[in-house]
Amino acid sequence: MPVRLPGSGGWAGMTTLALDVDTVLDRLDELASQRPVAARIVATSNNESAGAAELAAMLGADVALAAKVMKLANSAYFGLSGRVTSLPFAVTVVGFNTVRSIATVALAGLDEAAALPEGFWDVSVHLAAACGALGPSFQQTTADALCLGLLAQLGAALMHQADTSGYDELVATTDLGAARFSAETDRYGLSSPQLTAEALQHWRFSPAMVTALREVPGGQDGALVRTAYELTARMLSPGHRRLRLDGLSRHRVPESQAATRIAGIRADVAALRAALGLS
């Protein structure tokens, strides 16, 4: 599915780039072949009949993945520090979607990638914490919302792999959030969360999760992640040109709550960093 843009000018004087989404997804499949346990977990957690014991048995075949799930389950973020002593219990604590998201990070090579966009994991952890904190306001569980934030930047990593110098320039000259989505769309034909949605659809994630990412730039179902991007930008970029939370969230998160929300998210970021081995 090649995406070709009209004209030759592009955004901010940059030339446009034909991004072939099918080729990007084929490369992901090549990476997936190198992580068979992660691939099995992603495939199996689609199956509603799969239980925690079955998923835990698969995890046990990949020590690194199992350790991450155990560490997360025992983290301050989930409030069970030191009390989770088995993989089946850990899977139950963090939830199938979280296990699947951790496996997807490994499947896409993000945990071992030598070159990622500037600040990739800093942004991803803040987005995960922000989505988790905001989730209940959007009728999402904290764990499921966290997964949206954790995976949202996958598309940014894929754009960076396809166009390293161009994407580095784009990141350096745009604000995180709406301005960057617009620049990505001008250059590649879609935004990074929308490219993430294509990848997750390819791996048969739930339609609700795919839609939530596909609609980040402006659709109703993208309001949670869109609001999380705005709060993340405020935390990471002091000069960020703010957009009101009321409009971004479809009035689920009033602007008057911004300071309180950010304080809580900062605390969650610290817990998640430690749990994911990023501190």
User: pLDDT tens digits, residue range 206-223?
Assistant: 999 999 999 999 999 999
Q: What is the location of CATH 1.10.3210.10 in the chain? A: 2-16+115-275
Answer for the pair 62, 37: CB distance below 8 angstroms, yes or no: yes
Q: How many CB atoms lie within 10 A of CB 162?
A: 17
pLDDT reported for residue 45? 67
How far is Cα of residue 80 from the mean position of the Cα atoms in its chain? 24
Mean pLDDT in residue range 123-148: 96
> Residue with structure tokens 């934030």?
149
State which fold the 2-16+115-275 domain adopts: Hypothetical protein af1432 (1.10.3210)
Answer whether 0.85 is exceeded by the pTM. Answer: yes
Confidence of residue 14 (pLDDT cuts 50, 70, 90): low
DSSP string, 11-57: GGGPPP--EEHHHHHHHHHHHHTT-HHHHHHHHHTT-TT--HHHHHH
